[in-house]
Amino acid sequence: MRLELGKIFIKDVQFGEATKIENSILYINKEEMLNTIGGNEHVKSIDIELAHPGEEVRITPVKDVIEPRVKVEGPGGIFPGVLSKVDTVGTGRTYALKNMAVVTAGKIVGFQEGIIDMTGPGAEYTPFSQLHNVVIIAEPVDDIKQYDHEAAVRMIGLKAAQYLGEFAKNLEPDEIKYYETEPILESIKKYPDLPKVGYVYMLQTQGLLHDTYVYGVDAKKIVPTILYPTEVFDGAIISGNCVSACDKNPTYVHQNNSIIEDLYEKHGKEYNFVGVIITNENVYLADKERSSNWTAKLCKFLGLDAVIVSQEGFGNPDTDLIMNCKKIENEDIKTVIVTDEYAGRDGASQSLADADPKADAVITNGNANETIVLPPMKRIIGTTKYTDIIAGGFDGSLRPDGSIEVEIQAITGATNETGFVKLTSKAY
């Protein structure tokens, strides 16, 4: 598969009389956008606010972050199986609006949602502080069930990203990047002397608002399977989960998976990047055994020499991570795992809930239990009402002056396992 990804760099976002992109500025007709993305029976009101890098703005609680993209050439559309028909994506041409994102916020869905500070020390821990953010604040109807609330906010965010992305369709991109993965036999023939490397992409699927969707299907219903890496860039995987803010993969992170980006950079030079194996992180032991068995089997079937495994979440999924690692290693395939740590505020506790001697190549994205004081901000988008109960908060986190003391797990994207990190990763 070959995908051309056109990048349109946005230098500012403003409200205007018409939605358009002109001179690298995105103008949004607020009323038109609200009419386009609204109409959900589970939401009684929607508003849109803008947040820019360097502003004294705090966005919380954050549900999802999404990059607007549009399919220009090739089969399918953005977010296939959700907003577009079910068709295999990952080929042709897609345009992306860079330096900006859609952020969904408002009344809390689940307790594991996060904070984005656009300036100050908290901004250093989240990549989303560097973006021009179009924030959708959705107020649910009274007595709504959490699953209905999550689904409603998720769909509103995706519709907002689709709406904005469409205005890039007829533009000339500022930059085009090319990604190509050949079928396995052609790939081996093309690079006979290079080691074959794959990526095992673990998706959060524990239920209870911890879900990820692949072509519109809840990933806990799948068995491990193979994707072309370019399918990920075309929106085949989206977030539906409210797992701890620091290490969940918002949809933006799936769209811009930096492990895939890095693997492509050296593809055909230092190694042969064969493809992606997606697998899930279920709750029951039998499901974990099944998925890790299939994952190792697929790695062997592809003839891989080495594998990178990334995890989403922590605690229970640590078992899936270690199972995948040791079973792949048992197939004589070198494995590197990418994770964050929950080692206590002093860093002295066991950092993972599971371990094995075969997990001897580990990339850590930092200790999510470390604490930080976020100073007061002039403007709050959403509400800080729930700060004391979100993951990483505690009774008294929100101080009378508006400052917040929390563990960095409360910051969206702070120690994310696909590479969007503030901390310097290290191997041990």
Please identify every residue annotated as catalytic: 242
Alpha carbons within 13 angstroms on the beta-carbon side of residue 104 total: 34
User: CA 255, 257, 263: angle at the middle one, nearest 5?
Assistant: 135
Q: Supply φ then ψ for residue 82, to 5 degrees.
A: -120, -65
Q: Are 251 and 239 in contact (CB under 8 A)?
A: yes
Distance CA 329, CA 38 (A): 49
Q: What is the DSSP letter of 8?
A: E
User: CA 159, 155, 39: angle at the middle one, nearest 5?
Assistant: 80
Q: Is 118 helix (H, G, I), strand (E, B) or coil?
A: coil
Q: What is the DSSP letter of 269?
A: T
Distance CA 304, CA 196 (A): 5
Give residue for tokens 């007829």: 170
Q: Are 89 and 75 in contact (CB under 8 A)?
A: yes
Token reading at 255: 């769209």
Give residue for tokens 């890496």: 229
CB atoms within 10 A of CB 71: 23
Q: What is the DSSP letter of 82?
A: T
Amino acid occupying residue 130: Q
User: CA 202, 270, 364: angle at the middle one, nearest 5?
Assistant: 40
Q: Is 24 helix (H, G, I), strand (E, B) or coil?
A: coil
Rounded to the nearest 10 degrees, how much is the dihedral formed by the CA atoms of 280, 285, 286, 290? 40
Distance CA 199, CA 212 (A): 18
Amino acid occupying residue 225: T
Cα Rg of the chain, angstroms: 21
Q: How far is CA 13 from CA 49, 100, 172, 315, in A?
A: 11, 8, 19, 39
The H or E element that residue 327 is part of is helix 316-329
Q: Which residues does 266 contact at the CB level (< 8 Å), separation at least 6?
A: 273
